[in-house]
């Protein structure tokens, strides 16, 4: 079907806004918080919503089932980027990107051959979260240094990457099966451009910190994809999206409180 210009402009504006917001959080708040918010349903929500708008809510709901398992491929991308992108500068970005995309593609090829349901898709990613969290346990937390404003080249790069990925995913959704559409919807649309910019401006160490905390934020993405898969077809896009964000927000708030309680407990234990 022909996609109206207004829908294309909406994708453009939303993608740019989300990526810029993440970058501001990393530079003005912390890379740890940015890593957690990278797991919030931002790029996935954009992709699934416009897949439903351009194709059908039923197709988007079916794709969301495969998105649940597709987050495992996203974790693989982060792990590959961490392994390849250990150097500062463009060389580190290029090698991190190539390694990350290779890991994502290899994992995606496996995932799309499996007939997942909501339970098995969720369990697959939960196991992957536990594995990657354990693997990242020794990665140090390095804060990004404050920066004053955004440069035009950085703005253009953020915008170009995010918009290009969103348009590629929603465009391919018209010609690929729902399994591939769902796995592609799990691609880190907002996190990847953010990693590139952070790596370019701040170096490999703060970038590794964002990747380290990304698995902890994936619980909100799982909640979102699960709710969307259950409600897009029956309730429609807007109610399903709102319910998905409500579930994701509740999970993220609960997880943040749990982490705070755990840190306070460890501090109290160490001081006694």
**Could you tell me which residue, 127 or 34, shows the higher pLDDT?**
127
Confidence label for 29 from pLDDT (cuts 50, 70 and 90): low
Structure confidence by residue, pLDDT tens digits, 223-233? 999 999 999 99
pLDDT at 77: 97
Q: Which one has a higher pLDDT value, 171 or 260?
A: 171
Angstrom distance (rounded) from CA 40 to CA 61 = 19
* Residues 110-135, mean pLDDT to the nearest whole number: 95
Question: What was the pLDDT predicted at 31?
Answer: 59
Question: Rounded to whole angstroms, how far apart are CA atoms 123 and 129?
Answer: 10
Contact between 162 and 15 under an 8 Å Cβ cutoff? The reply is yes
pLDDT value at 40 more than 80? no
Buried b (16+ CB within 10 A) or exposed e, 186-201: bbbbbbbbbbbbbbbb
Assess whether pLDDT exceeds 80 at residue 62: yes
User: How confident is the model over 129-144, as a mean pLDDT?
Assistant: 90
Among 55-59, 88-92, 129-133, 263-267, the least confident range: 263-267
Q: Cα–Cα distance between 203 and 180 in angstroms, integer? A: 33
Residue 225: per-residue pLDDT: 96
pLDDT score, position 255:
79
pLDDT tens, position by position, 164-217: 888 899 889 999 999 999 999 999 887 888 788 889 888 999 999 989 988 877
Please enumerate in sequence order all residues whose Cβ is within 8 A of that of 172, keeping only pairs 6 or more positions apart, or say none: 180, 181, 184
**pLDDT at residue 70 in the model:** 96
Sign of CA dihedral 108, 250, 33, 258: negative
Q: Vertex 90, ends 85 and 94: CA angle to 5°?
A: 55
Mean pLDDT within 267-271: 72
Q: How far apart are CA 155 and CA 158, in angstroms?
A: 5
The total of other beta-carbon atoms located within 10 Å of residue 141's CB is 14
Global model pTM greater than 0.75 = yes
The tokens of 163 are what?
């918009």
Residue 159 has pLDDT above 90, yes or no: no
Q: For residue 28, what pLDDT is reported?
A: 64
Give the gyration radius of the chain's Cα atoms: 18
Give the model confidence (pLDDT) of 69-117 as tens digits.
999 999 999 999 999 999 999 999 999 999 999 999 999 999 999 999 9
CB-CB contact of 149 with 30 (8 Å) = no
The number of angstroms, rounded, from the C-alpha of 106 to the middle of its chain's C-alpha atoms is 18
pLDDT band at 161 (very low <50, low <70, confident <90, very high): confident
Which sign, positive or negative, has the C-alpha torsion 55, 61, 67, 69? negative
């Amino acid at each position: 079907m022909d996609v109206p210009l207004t829908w294309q402009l909406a994708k453009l504006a939303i993608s740019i806004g989300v990526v810029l917001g993440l970058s501001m959080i990393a530079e003005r708040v912390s890379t740890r918080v940015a890593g957690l918010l990278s797991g919030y349903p931002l790029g996935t929500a954009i992709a699934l919503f416009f897949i439903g708008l351009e194709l059908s809510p039923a197709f988007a709901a079916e794709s969301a089932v495969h998105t649940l398992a597709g987050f495992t491929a996203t974790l693989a991308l982060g792990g590959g980027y961490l392994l390849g992108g250990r150097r500062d500068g463009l060389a580190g970005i290029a090698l991190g990107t190539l390694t990350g995309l290779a890991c994502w593609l290899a994992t995606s090829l496996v995932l799309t051959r499996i007939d997942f349901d909501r339970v098995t898709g969720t369990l697959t990613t939960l196991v992957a979260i536990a594995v990657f969290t354990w693997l990242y346990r020794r990665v140090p937390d390095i804060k990004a240094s404050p920066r004053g404003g955004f440069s035009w080249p950085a703005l253009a790069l953020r915008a170009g990457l995010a918009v290009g990925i969103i348009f590629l995913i929603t465009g391919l959704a018209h010609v690929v099966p729902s399994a591939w559409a769902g796995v592609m919807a799990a691609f880190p649309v907002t996190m990847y451009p953010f990693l590139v910019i952070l790596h370019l401006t701040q170096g490999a160490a703060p970038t590794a910190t964002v990747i380290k905390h990304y698995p902890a934020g994936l619980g909100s993405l799982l909640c979102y994809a699960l709710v969307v898969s259950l409600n897009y077809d029956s309730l429609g896009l807007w109610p399903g999206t709102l319910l998905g964000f409500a579930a994701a927000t509740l999970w993220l708030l609960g997880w943040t409180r749990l982490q705070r309680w755990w840190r306070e407990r460890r501090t109290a234990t160490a001081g006694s």
